[in-house]
Every structure is written in structure tokens, then in C-alpha cells.
Amino acid sequence: MGVYLSTPKTEKVSEDGENDKLKFGVSSMQGWRTTMEDAHSALLDLDNDTAFFGVFDGHGGKVVAKFCAKYLHREVLRSEAYAAGDLGAAVHRAYFRMDEMMRGQRGWRELQALGDKINQFSGIIEGLIWSPKASDSNDRHDDWAFEEGPHSDFTGPNCGSTACVALIRNKQLVVANAGDSRCVISRNGQAYNLSRDHKPELEAERERIRSAGGFVLMGRVNGNLNLSRAIGDMKFKQNKFLPPDKQILTANPDINIVELCDDDEFIVLACDGIWDCMSSQQLVDFIREHIDTCRRKASRQYARECSIDAWLRRPWAARDAIT
């Protein structure tokens, strides 16, 4: 079946966490693809006041999604705009920074380390040719552009990834999106989309694609990709006369800033596999139903525990329990 399996892999990998402000749950499933190409970030404490969550839906390989999961939040945190309190500008810059960082020798090296021994974006076993440096923990912020090596002219990977992220600081929610992953908020049971799916047939997207020398065929960019914005996919970003936001494909994210209120229950970040099967409202209804079920079960368990505790507090019951 080409890039698809004969039967889907339905095993789920899940995790959760919480602090005194937020709770989160994450679950991923490979599905029909031959490899798992998606990645995520879930950081309750990007700093003392800010949480960061993101989903990255890879296509053509897994390395760009994994690169974004590893580095995008770091670039947000390092931004001058972030230090000045402008979360929207910080995350906007970080998206373009991903494409910049994946070029050149160090970009090649990092992508190789995140992939398999056979390079997922070139198909060549190159790790035997060039020995990577050790840990990058002490590297300067701008070292990416200046590292020399046999792949200094590497223009970046031809696979790519969507990126849909949410930053939460106090009552402020900042959502950034490039691609067809989606962020939805449940406000008193009503689903509201906080991002827009970037599809080639949208008028603004189609106009940018054509102006950059591309075309849309059967709903796909140059007959290839069925989304019009993504990180990576550097073969669509080679016009030297155009800025990054005007290329055939762009990493330029939409930014949406929302003031949270007491009616806001939860947000959902998910890849397009979910939205191909359910509407935003259907997913919100599904989640609310399961949350209510869990609460009812927990309430019944608490009631049982209280009843047992009250029974044990009776003198004869405690005596009988001991005997």
C-alpha cells in the first residue's frame, strides 16, 4: 500500500501531568502510516508563569516534527519579544526560526540525529561520513548558521510538519498555527475554533501559491501537499526573490490571542486525523461526556470511602473490624 500499512497500528501512547494551575493529557497513535511521523510538546512550566503545548503532524518523514517538538519552545523562550512579554511575537518568530535552524551543517546534523541511520530526508546513510559534535547544551544561540562541515550548503529537509501550539499565561491564551492541525476551546460546552486550517483551495493561500510560481492541482500544492503552510518542505521555499512569508509554502503562523474566562473548560490541540473524522463540536461533546463520566465515578468512589470511614468511626464497628 505504498506509504501505508495493510492494517493500522492502534496502540496508544499516553501521558498526563498537572500543576497548581493546569492539567493536561496527551495521547498518540501511529495509525496507517509505516512510521510514526507526529510529535508533541507538553510543558507546564515553560517559565514560572507560562505553559506551552504543541502538536506537530509530520509528512514525508518524522524528523521535522521531532525537531519542532525539541526546539520550537526553546526559541520562544529565548526570544527578545518573550522577555518583553509579547508572547504572540515570540512564537511567530520561532516558527520562521525553525526553517532557519534546519539549514546548513548543524541543521543537517540535528535532523540526522533525530532520524534513523538512513537519513529520512535524503535517503542516504551519511552518519558514517561526518561525525556529529557532542552535546549542544553550551552552544551559542547563533551557532547554527556558522558551523562548518561537508553539509554547510544543505538547504533544509524536503519533509515537513504542521505546528499548532498554545501558550497559557495567567488568563491569556496565545494560539499559533501553520498547517491543518487545529486548536479548539470548549466554552460552556460550545466549541470555538482558535485556528484556521491552511488548505490550498482557500483564496488567500491559492493566491500566494500562484504569485510565488506554484499551482494548485486537485486541492494540493503543486499536486503534492494537501496543506499550504508548514515548517520544513524546503523544496517549496527556494525563491530567493521572495521573503519567507510569500513562498509557495510558508511557515508563517496565524496568531490568535484570547482572554480566558470562567466559562472556558478545556482546549484541544489535535492533528488532522481527528478533524477528518469529527467536527470540532463533536469532539468537544465527546470529551465533555467522558469528563462527566469520570467525575461521576470519582464521586461515587468518594461517597463509598466516606461511608466506610464513617462506619469505622463507630466504636462497635471499629472493634468488630479489629476482631
Model confidence at 263, pLDDT cuts 50, 70, 90, reads very high
Residue 1 pLDDT > 60: no
Residue 232 pLDDT > 90: yes
Q: Report angle CA 317, 322, 323 to the nearest 5 degrees.
A: 95
Residue 118 is assigned to a structural domain of this protein? no
Same domain, 207 and 322: no
Residue 126 is assigned to a structural domain of this protein? no
Dist. CA 116–CA 141, nearest whole Å: 26
Dist. CA 174–CA 176, nearest whole Å: 7
Amino acid at 208: R
Dist. CA 137–CA 309, nearest whole Å: 53
Same domain, 312 and 167: no
Same domain, 170 and 227: yes
Cell of 24: 493536561
- Global pTM? 0.85
Dist. CA 15–CA 137, nearest whole Å: 26
| Mean pLDDT in residue range 217-245 | 96
Quick check: 62 and 115 in contact, CB under 8 A?
Answer: yes
Domain count across the chain: 2
| Mean pLDDT in residue range 281-296 | 91
Same domain, 268 and 320: no
Beta bridge partners of 161: 58, 231
What is the edge-to-edge ordering of all strands in the sheet holding 182-187? 190-193, 182-187, 264-270
Residue 144 is assigned to a structural domain of this protein? no
Same domain, 305 and 187: no
Give 11's contacts (C-beta < 8 A, 6+ positions apart): 29, 30
pLDDT at 300 (0 to 100) = 74
**Which residue has better confidence, 258 or 298?**
258
Same domain, 26 and 73: yes
Quick check: 145 and 104 in contact, CB under 8 A?
Answer: yes
pLDDT at 297 (0 to 100) = 80
Cell of 76: 520562544
Same domain, 256 and 160: yes
Cα dihedral 5/33/25/286 (nearest 10): -70
Residue 65 is assigned to a structural domain of this protein? yes
Query: What letter does residue 44 receive in the DSSP assignment?
Result: T
| Mean pLDDT in residue range 277-284 | 95
Name the 3-class secondary structure at 284. Answer: helix
Residue 147 is assigned to a structural domain of this protein? no
Segments forming the whole domain that contains residue 296: 288-323
Name the 3-class secondary structure at 239. Answer: coil
Q: Which residues of 187-217 are buried (b: 16+ CB within 10 A; e: fewer)?
A: beeebebbbebbbbeeeebbebbeebebebe
Residue 84 pLDDT > 50: yes
Rounded percentage of the chain residues whose pLDDT exceeds 70: 84
Same domain, 79 and 219: yes
Same domain, 183 and 322: no
Chain segment 23-60, per-residue pLDDT in tens: 999 999 888 887 889 999 999 999 999 999 999 999 99
Tell me which of 240, 257, 277 is where a domain ends: 277
Same domain, 224 and 319: no
Residue 138 is assigned to a structural domain of this protein? no
Helices and strands (H and E) in the chain: how many: 8, 14
pLDDT at 116 (0 to 100) = 57
Chain segment 134-164, per-residue pLDDT in tens: 334 444 556 687 788 899 999 999 999 999 9
Residue 22 is assigned to a structural domain of this protein? yes
pLDDT at 73 (0 to 100) = 98
Dist. CA 230–CA 237, nearest whole Å: 11
Cell of 21: 494551575
- CATH number, domain of 188, equals 3.60.40.10
Same domain, 300 and 177: no
Rounded percentage of the chain residues whose pLDDT exceeds 90: 70
Chain segment 91-124, per-residue pLDDT in tens: 999 999 999 999 999 999 999 999 854 444 444 4
Residue 71 is assigned to a structural domain of this protein? yes
pLDDT at 8 (0 to 100) = 83
Quick check: 37 and 65 in contact, CB under 8 A?
Answer: yes
Chain segment 198-210, per-residue pLDDT in tens: 999 999 999 999 9
Same domain, 217 and 312: no
Output the average pLDDT for the chain.
86
Residue 130 pLDDT > 80: no
